[in-house]
Structure 1
Amino acid sequence: MGTLITAPMTHHDPARPFESHLTQELCDSVLASLRRRDQRHKGQLYVRGLLTTQGRKTMRNLATSTREPTAAQSLHHFISVSTWDWSEVRTSLARRMESALAPHAWVVQPMVTPKSGVHSVGVQRRFIRRLGQAVTSQHSHGLWLAGQTTAAPVNWQLSVGDDRPRDPSPGVRGGAPEPSDGTRPGPGDDTAISVVLEAASWGLTPRPVVIDARDVPPGPLIAAFTAADLPFLLRVSGNTPLLAPDLSGGQRRVLTAPAEHLATLARSQQRPVDWVDPAMPQVLRTGLAAVLPVLWPGTTGPRRPRPHGVSAVAPRRSGGAELLLMGEWQPNRRRVAELWLTNMTRAGRGTLLRLSKLTRRAETDFTRVCLDVGAQDFEGRSYHGWHRHMTMVSLAHAVRVLQREDHDHAGLERSG
């Protein structure tokens, strides 16, 4: 799922001045939930360090951006030892960014952080599909508020397996609820589900949850988001089994077949859809999209073999969820390029295709902004410390993208 980043990349623009007034105003608003004045002060110091320090955002490097002789020790205590509740800070940040960005979707993006040792929390040897090999790494998911021009992370979950803290310390939430179909989420499902459900409890306006789910079974995601009454759009692999009407025979049967095969049955319904590439806003691209009503497999009758590995089943819908399968083709290509499942059954192909491209928006801002403000630079070993660091990273990211928005708006006003 998403983009694997194997090394920090720096995209800071030294020509742009550091706008301390925006940092001060945003930090004052978001950090107001911290009850102690010294915590609010340390939070502002940490964010300023993330925004101004060149290179890796180690505690020592962050301390050099301040004029306080004990900054390294106090910042370390603020992140790794203090007891402030990161979920309250993230709630404030999410509400502020929802108002500022008016996002179209909640995009869930994975982050794989390679590690040389195994002592940091959540570090495991994992197989990474995009690399085709196992990598010692931390694996997490971020929830991004994404629009066509900007995306910002507001919540994070770290996959820690059996090492998740079990004490009721501030900021620690329980795991995701078990899906109603009785299946238990795997490590990747668990963090993707819980990062969404926690944000949904903050009183935000529900948005479509957009996830590249090719590396995890979609069943637990579908069950959890359906139970939470959340709209979703999941990218799935071609071999995902689905149920659909037999479009080829005109008979009242339901086929069970891989998603890629079913997409070929809908090729005649392709229509062109234009979309703007977030990585290159000046480029207008075109995809060919088609949609097909499908069911998520539930309890069905006996199967009878059909040609090409397709099976016919009695059209019993008990336990099945009514969804749409969207396929996207590139011009002059016969094989489907992307496959997406959604419960937004009344949405048009244009709406769905443009929503799917918001994963590219989050990937672009992750590479150009979030890495530069320290998303993969945490050196501590604790679960609590990682979450507090990522909360401050999210706040620094918000400052940077709002600076960009202000800069772009000022440029449009001058040109007008």
Structure 2
Amino acid sequence: MSATLQTVEAPSLPPGPATGAPRALVASVLSSLRRRDQRHKGELYVNGLLHAPGRKTMRNLAASTDERSAEQSLHHFISCSTWDWSPLRAELAARMDQLLAPKAWVVRPLVIPKTGRHSVGVGRRFVPQLGQVVNSQHGYGLWLASGAASAPVNWRLSLSGDWLEDTEMRQRAAIPDSVDAGSAEGLVLDMALETAGWGVTRLPVVTDAREEAVPSMVRAFSRAGLPFLLRIGGSTGLLAPALSGGGSRSVSASAGHLAELARSQRRPVEWFEPAGNGLPKTSLVSLLPVRLPGPRQAFGGVPSAEAPLTLVGVWSPNSRAASELWLTNLAGASRSTLLGLGRLIGRADADFTGTSLPVGALDFEGRSYHGWHRHVTLVSLAHAVRLLGPEAQQARRSRGALTPVPMTGGRRVRDSGRFAPAAGAGRAEVPANVPVAASPGRAAG
């Protein structure tokens, strides 16, 4: 029997001309800036991100205004001013939470190639998606994602030990004393917890963790009570119950091997690609209860602190091996729900390429830590404005106004529409390949 992701009319974003909802959004987000001149400069900067041709350099942004000395003024506003970006992000997140009705928080990496050595956080690092060492900045963005659209609302910049241990480099980039190197899972967790603190709907964190320390990430998210769906590699070690029965007997093996053992659990699920052409696709999906390996290997005797997890295997209809492996703490969620959530990474990837790149996501030229964060905050606002514009809405309608929304599945809590993750993992609102975030060219810095 095939489970199907229901195809329903996409929830439309607010209609109206560009001077309507988008202008109101900009005014609302910038209202946390106390000074009128800062709010004015914020409007100029966002307008430049939206309309200045080519790369969003300070010169090009200034040229899009009618004001003299705009280049110096905007540079000071971004790199040297004192305004805090967090309230702007919180307001933007609250607005987009209402407008998009998101199903997940998608976390995707941001890799910004650089030709120079002076941009904050820049360094030579291996980029798996490119298969080579690249001189670049590296960060993470948290996106509110639905089938119709997605928008970034929070950011973290990864800093290597060189930037934090070299006093001169740290002072030159004005890196706060409170910022440390941190692991990838630490940065992602900190970003998710901050977003949760803004009062927006708490949703599953969905990310490609194939290049991350999966056990550390799972434990960090579990301790924080956050629901998650992580794409993992086939070599990730897991512990599963013996599939032939036997009580507390267990199998310790790689995720890829366990998925092969669970082939009999596969069921067909029909789905629609969020950023695709509207044609249905079919995948075979298996679910297998697993845990992280611990000192006690018997499945039934693993300490209760290790919350139960589910290994999700995804096969193309004619493939012999699983094409995707996912790990989640969303207890009771259906195959269609989990597959639909995983597909939202593609939604965020498409919106990054189609919307964030054109409004300057990779174009920050400055060297300061604060400047980078202020720039990407206003890029997020420009991204949201473009989503509300008539051209973007017409494009969504031209795709057939049909959006994949997973059919209801999983255990509901008090008929509230909430799914319960595994014990100790919090609750998640769940209705039911991270490509490098870089353009072919290299930014200066």
> How far did residue 409 of structure 1 move?
8.1
Q: Superposed, which structure 2 residues align to 1:205-224 within 5 Å?
A: 205-224=201-220
Partner of 2:126: 127
- Does the 8 Å CA contact 2:185/2:220 hold for their aligned counterparts? no
Q: Superposed, which structure 2 residues align to 1:198-347 within 5 Å?
A: 198-248=194-244, 250=246, 252-301=248-297, 313=298, 315-318=300-303, 319-347=305-333
Structure 1 residues 50, 202: CA separation in 2 closer, same or farther (over 3 Å shift)?
Answer: same
- Does the 8 Å CA contact 2:18/2:388 hold for their aligned counterparts? no
Partner of 2:376: 390
Q: What amino acid is aligned across from residue 76 of structure 2 in structure 1?
A: H
> How far did residue 328 of structure 1 move?
0.2
> How far did residue 349 of structure 1 move?
0.8
- Does the 8 Å CA contact 1:278/1:364 hold for their aligned counterparts? no
Residue aligned with 1:280, SS:
coil
Partner of 1:371: 357
Following the alignment from structure 2 to structure 1, what is the Cα–Cα distance between the partners of residues 119 and 23? 32
Q: What amino acid is aligned across from residue 386 of structure 1 in structure 2?
A: W
The worse-fitting range, judged by mean Cα deviation, of 291-300 and 236-245 is 291-300
Partner of 2:4: none
Q: What amino acid is aligned across from residue 131 of structure 2 in structure 1?
A: G
* Deviation by residue 1:109-149 (Cα, 9 ceiling, x = unmatched): 00111111111111111111122211111110000000001
Following the alignment from structure 1 to structure 2, what is the Cα–Cα distance between the partners of residues 171 and 117? 19
Structure 1 residues 247, 174: CA separation in 2 closer, same or farther (over 3 Å shift)?
Answer: farther
Following the alignment from structure 2 to structure 1, what is the Cα–Cα distance between the partners of residues 127 and 397? 42
Residue aligned with 2:278, SS:
strand
Q: What amino acid is aligned across from residue 301 of structure 2 in structure 1?
A: R
Following the alignment from structure 1 to structure 2, what is the Cα–Cα distance between the partners of residues 123 and 366? 21
* Deviation by residue 1:146-199 (Cα, 9 ceiling, x = unmatched): 0001000000000013435999x99979569xxxxxxx963x223222221211
Following the alignment from structure 2 to structure 1, what is the Cα–Cα distance between the partners of residues 176 and 201? 23
Indicate the percent of aligned positions where both proteins have the same amino acid. Answer: 53
- Does the 8 Å CA contact 2:203/2:227 hold for their aligned counterparts? yes
Residue aligned with 1:389, SS:
helix
* Deviation by residue 1:31-89 (Cα, 9 ceiling, x = unmatched): 11100000000000000000001110000000011000111111101100011010110
Q: What amino acid is aligned across from residue 317 of structure 1 in structure 2?
A: V
- Does the 8 Å CA contact 2:22/2:388 hold for their aligned counterparts? no
Q: What amino acid is aligned across from residue 232 of structure 2 in structure 1?
A: V
Q: What amino acid is aligned across from residue 31 of structure 1 in structure 2?
A: L
Partner of 1:110: 109
Q: What amino acid is aligned across from residue 350 of structure 2 in structure 1?
A: T
- Does the 8 Å CA contact 1:292/1:326 hold for their aligned counterparts? yes
Q: CA-atom RMSD, angstroms?
A: 2.7
> How far did residue 101 of structure 1 move?
0.5
Partner of 1:304: none
Residue aligned with 1:296, SS:
coil
Following the alignment from structure 2 to structure 1, what is the Cα–Cα distance between the partners of residues 316 and 82? 51
* Deviation by residue 1:299-323 (Cα, 9 ceiling, x = unmatched): 325xxxxxxxxxxx57421142210
Residue aligned with 1:103, SS:
coil
Partner of 1:349: 335
Using the size of structure 1 for normalisation, the TM-score is 0.85
Unpaired runs of at least 5, structure 1: 1-16, 177-183, 302-312
Unpaired runs of at least 5, structure 2: 1-15, 401-445
- Relative contact order, CA 8 A, sep 6+: which one is greater? 2
- Does the 8 Å CA contact 1:234/1:340 hold for their aligned counterparts? yes
Residue aligned with 2:310, SS:
strand
1:88 aligns with 2:84: no
Following the alignment from structure 1 to structure 2, what is the Cα–Cα distance between the partners of residues 227 and 81? 38
Q: What amino acid is aligned across from residue 336 of structure 2 in structure 1?
A: G
